[in-house]
Amino acid sequence: EAKLKLFGVQDDLKLSLNAIQVLRERYLLKDQEGNPVETPRQMMERVANAIAQIDASYGEDPEVSYQEFLKTLMALDFLPNSPTLMNAGCPGGQLAACFVLPVEDSLDAIFEALKNMALIHKSGGGTGFSFSRLRPRGDRVSSTGGRASGPVSFMRIFDTATDVVKQGGKRRGANMGILRFNHPDILEFIQAKKKGGEFENFNFSVAITDQEMEAVRKNEKIPLINPRDGRVWREVSATEIFNVICESAWSSGEPGCIFIDEINRKHPLKALGAIEATNPCGEVPLLPFESCNLGSINLAHMVTEGKIDYAKLGETVRVAVHFLDNVIDANYHPLPETERMAKANRKIGLGVMGFADLLVKIGVPYYSQQALKIAEEIMQYIMLQARKTSLELASRRGTFPNLEKSTWYTQNLPLRNATLTSIAPTGSISIIAGCSSGIEPYFALSFRRYVLENTELIEVNPLLEEYLKGLKLSQKDWERILAQGTLQGIEQIPQKVKDLFRTALEIPPEFQVKVQAAFQKYVDNAVSKTINLPQNASLEEVKKVFFLAHETHCKGITVFRQGSRSRQAIYPGLLS
Ligand code: UDP
């Protein structure tokens, strides 16, 4: 009732206030005046129906799938990425979150990429680019006799165009900009976001090879190479460049690194070329014009009587993989090239959210060896079940057309999908599901979040109350917990409970990397994880984290030091 009054939305799924508000603003279909014309349940029906209909084209019965999809969505056991929730069942609905576009070294190709980016953003997708093929600033332009302005200046145009397009108001366009470690303009790139006010629609990542990491460790020189002619531009100290990356990441959270050799070692479609870029948040490395549709299982719902419910998890994986495979066919692509690639490789990215919630529910602290073991166990199980479903789908519907060009073929695995798993940040869908995001620890036990324009969302950990109920805390203690967003300093709370509700800034960064590595072990694509550092973390700490991520076979790394940006999307505690 209150929700109906507040937001004009009838809450027929018993969602949180924040979930209703997010759905109202961005997901529910609206009439011309901007009033919602569907309820949350009707949204789930629209999505389940549109995706289930695909079964008919394979001679299967859509009704059975419709019931399964609807039940799973309404229970919030699994949610697809935002574009699918927003657009499924709508004419021309684009359903995938992630795209990668090539940028070749000619004016024609650069502006072609720019146009394609605009079309993808308008459709609700995010885009990743490698700008490594562009000739450096100051290089020759033979047709005009002039001087090139370099990748960073072109990226500025992509950033501005993103601002202008704004994804039809539902979602701000997100981009990943990648440059190779040995590009002549690397220093300009690393520091481009440092002054702030620019490139706010971009995440920056440096693509670094194993050999370059080795050169950093050994303090060796490396040649910077002009991609236009393959000639050495000049020699630099690898360690010095790496130090500038880490200093910049320490002071502003950017750039991140992607470990491009690790990505290509695990790349199942090597015959189609090497991967140079990832999507905006890093969880999906893709070839040019590839895209990926994501979905996440809510692990908070996979616990029965204090134990992980593997039967329910397995069943949810089966439904989710079937659902995501259907999404590929239900999708309306903004570009013919992306449609061709999506249908040839049929990549999907099934992941998880609510990992921190699951751990609380089974009584295991996030910061513990056991949590690492559980992370591996859960993800391995999901990977195996997902493969099983993909094999079954292939036996009914056929394998993905490029199977014979993939490493799966040599392993004798006739899969329906070239990739199956990926861990997304779940920035919005975890709010809808009311669970912790992705595989992150709790950022804080109470926090303010700025994901909607002009609206502050206040959240208090929904599991906390239950654990503190019996302790008879004073009003003052409660106020203190809510104000600071942690249980620190509250004497009455037993250490065991404090351990269960440890927040990101109370968990050593190295351990957070280990969690990322544990999941990565059983993920086909990549893992989105922010390594949160306290404000007083040192530069050395950042370097250690980067090295550790590389050593433990992560595909990339992003750090965020508290307070290092003038504006954050999320702040701990309820005091400003
Ligand atoms: N993404 C985007 N714009 C946004 C948020 C996300 O384009 O504002 C894309 C981007 O490729 C990102 C992916 O969606 O890597 C998944 O992000 P997330 O899991 O946070 O999306 P959700 O489905 O929760 O909205």
**How do residues 18-30 score in pLDDT, each as one tens digit?**
999 999 999 999 9
Alpha carbon of 492 to ligand 1 centroid (Å): 40
| pLDDT beyond 60 at 576 | no
**pLDDT beyond 90 at 101:** yes
| For residues 418-423, average pLDDT | 98
Which residues on neighbouring strands pair with residue 138, listed in sequence order? none
Task: Encode pLDDT of 144-189 as tens digits.
Answer: 889 999 999 999 999 999 999 886 667 778 999 999 999 999 999 9
- pLDDT, average across residues 536-540: 97
DSSP 8-state class, residue 24: I
Ligand 1 nearest atom to the CA of residue 430, by list position: 24
Helix (H/G/I), strand (E/B), else coil: 275: coil
pLDDT above 90 for 454 = no
pLDDT of residue 168: 64
Tell how far the Cα of 426 is from the centroid of ligand 1, in angstroms: 7
**What number is the average pLDDT over the span 389-397?**
98
Residue located nearest, by CA, to atom 1 of ligand 1: 126
User: Can 246 be counted among the known catalytic residues?
Assistant: no
DSSP per residue over 434-495, as a string? TS--TTPPPS-SEEEEEEETTEEEEEE-TTHHHHHGGG---HHHHHHHHHHSS-TT-TTS-H
**What per-residue confidence (pLDDT) applies to 570?**
87
Which percentage of the chain shows pLDDT scores above 90?
90
Type of residue at 28: L
Question: How many angstroms separate the alpha carbon of residue 181 from the centre of ligand 1?
Answer: 26
Q: Averaged over 81-107, what is the pLDDT?
A: 97
Residues 6+ apart with CB under 8 A from 96: 81, 83, 84, 125, 291, 292, 293, 294, 327, 331, 342
Q: Is 283 a catalytic residue?
A: yes
Domains and CATH numbers, the chain: 98-278 (3.20.70.20)
**Three-state secondary-structure class, residue 412:** coil
How far apart, in whole angstroms, are the C-alpha atoms of residue 445 and residue 426?
Answer: 18
Distance (Å, rounded) from C-alpha 472 to C-alpha 273? 62
Residue 497 has pLDDT above 90, yes or no: yes
d(CA 520, CA 497): 29
Let me know if 262 is a catalytic residue: no
Mean pLDDT to the nearest integer, 356-384: 98
User: For ligand 1, is residue 556 a contact (CB within 6 Å)?
Assistant: no
Phi, psi at 28, each rounded to 5°: -70, 140
361 CA to centre of own chain = 24
Average pLDDT over the chain reads 95
List of residues 6+ apart from 323 with CB closer than 8 A: 51, 65, 69, 72, 78, 80, 295
- What would you measure as the largest C-alpha separation in the chain, in angstroms? 78
Is the CB of 260 within 6 Å of ligand 1? no
What mean pLDDT comes out for the span 50-62?
A: 98
Q: Say if residue 253's pLDDT is above 70.
A: yes
Q: Which atom of ligand 1 is nearest to the CA of 428?
A: 24
**ipTM computed for the complex:** 0.95
Ligand 1 centre from 129 Cα, in Å? 16
* Contact between 171 and 281 (Cβ < 8 Å): no
**pLDDT class of 244 with cuts at 50, 70, 90:** very high
Annotated catalytic residue within 257, 281, 435, 554 = 281
